[in-house]
Structure 1
């Protein structure tokens, strides 16, 4: 795809042609010349565009889950959305993050290897301040390691976020993410070789009045086995099959659901005075004959007509007729 010129570049080009500094023929000759595109072997492109789009869709869902969870935990306005999905060497990713930051290193069996969630210190300390009763805005810029209490708080939060990471990926692969350790110095975190290509998903995060970035670093070597499943065709077909299996599971659960069944022998109306004066041996006349069919109710809804009887010495009813839904509605009206 050709580069898109900015408005200022277009204006400069038109001015050069108008003044005679450049002719249209020269411009055409330059266009016809074979262009050579530089390729950096240290920055190998190992993720296809379709796979990057698949990662974007997965983490769009993940960001929505995080928004809901953190809003409930911090009890303040939270907005998280995918800002960018790109691939670059691991060394470049390490150089791009602050020298002191919050690094959640986690693994996701059965995948082999480790991944990283990097949380900007501004966001991390804002979350801690909010959880400790503050307003969620740090008084002074923090440039230090976490204390033991702060580390425990962060671990508790981010262990839960990995559950949502698992849910976001369940349409592609069944993984069980688990937090391995927290680190604050990127130089001490060498999970893959410096030239290994990684996918970096940047999440723009707003918590109250604080904003910053959360970056997910997924090495190519770790997720290589499941990359073929990130295509749009595979994810769409998997979604359809998932919907079918969900319907089957719901059907099975509904079949196992328990409903109370009651048999109505008849009804009558008495006054409160008569009710309080009832005693053992009193007879209450019902508005239904002894040989009339009995109404069988599922919950509070009439469903069948039945005949009373006994089976092996126990009281029972025999279903004789099903009450139509229309007849039931007419009776209630």
Structure 2
């Protein structure tokens, strides 16, 4: 977007040109030079703006689902939101994370390759403290994790992958599972250093602790599903109507659902004392005249009027009228 100059800035610029402090020719030359931009072919932008927008929408949904899941699981305040979505080289991503952090490496079956979710130690250990019955205080001991703590964190992050799968369901069905939990990024080599990755950064708060969660998705792993991230294709899939066979199957399933049908002979009110004194052959008088039609209910709704009778020796009712609803 072009910057708009205020009237004061315009006056100052004209004054500088008239006094000779600025040269119009130099300004034109500078403008031409600014049009030339350097381009690093080693760092090609392999994700289109359309695909970045789609990834942002998917992970905004993931952030909402993760907020709900962590709040319920940890029983404390949790807030997760997308802070940024960037594409950079894998080497730049590794250099950007702390030397000691929590790296959750997982496989998104059936895709070939691995993703990594880097969780700031403040957030990871606040989660661990809550899981162990604490108040959710942040502490740093990434280099001294015990086997029990590693196991608890692994199970915790496996549940977050179920939320990740749910967020991606509209685009691709994943079955993600934890592959490894690392603390030193220098030991983690998912792809070649120059490979392009997209990094989704989440601003996260757990109780009073706050930090970042970074999700790294290598281009080479999700390359086959990138065409599905087109906004046009995505909207078409959402608007796609059900296939006739699927609709018929759904209708048949609904038709086979059992319903309770009740024919009401009448009602009566008695006292507790009368109820306690009831015996065999006692008669209870109903409020329904014998000549009036019976009311037939389906579920909890009155749907028909009927008359009593017998059918092949069984007690039965014959529908005589359909009870209309408001608006019918």
Q: Larger deviation: 67-76 or 32-41?
A: 32-41
Q: Is 2:207 the counterpart of 1:208?
A: yes
CA contact (8 A) 2:142 2:183 kept: no
Q: Determine the C-alpha separation between the residues in 1 that align with 2:206 and 2:325.
A: 52
Q: Return closer, same or farther for 1:281/1:135 CA change in 2, 3 Å cut-off.
A: closer
Alignment of 1:1-333 (within 5 A): 14=13, 20-32=20-32, 35-139=35-139, 141-241=140-240, 255-290=255-290, 292-326=292-326
Q: Determine the C-alpha separation between the residues in 2 that align with 1:242 and 1:81.
A: 32
* Cα shift at 1:36: 2.7
CA contact (8 A) 1:145 1:184 kept: no
Q: Larger deviation: 171-180 or 276-285?
A: 276-285
CA contact (8 A) 1:100 1:145 kept: no
Q: Return closer, same or farther for 1:117/1:34 CA change in 2, 3 Å cut-off.
A: closer
Q: Return closer, same or farther for 1:209/1:275 CA change in 2, 3 Å cut-off.
A: closer
CA contact (8 A) 2:107 2:114 kept: yes
Q: Larger deviation: 203-212 or 163-172?
A: 203-212
Unaligned runs of 5+ in 1: 328-333
Q: Return closer, same or farther for 1:180/1:72 CA change in 2, 3 Å cut-off.
A: same
Q: Determine the C-alpha separation between the residues in 2 that align with 1:262 and 1:101.
A: 65
CA contact (8 A) 1:122 1:142 kept: no
Q: Give the count of matched residue pairs.
A: 321
Unaligned runs of 5+ in 2: none
TM-score computed with the length of structure 2 as normaliser: 0.86
Q: Return closer, same or farther for 1:72/1:34 CA change in 2, 3 Å cut-off.
A: closer
SS of the aligned residue for 1:22 comes to coil
* Cα shift at 1:264: 0.9
SS of the aligned residue for 1:98 comes to coil
Note the alpha carbon deviations across 1:148-196, whole angstroms, 9 max, x for none.
1111111111111111111111111111111111111112111111111
Q: Return closer, same or farther for 1:158/1:5 CA change in 2, 3 Å cut-off.
A: farther
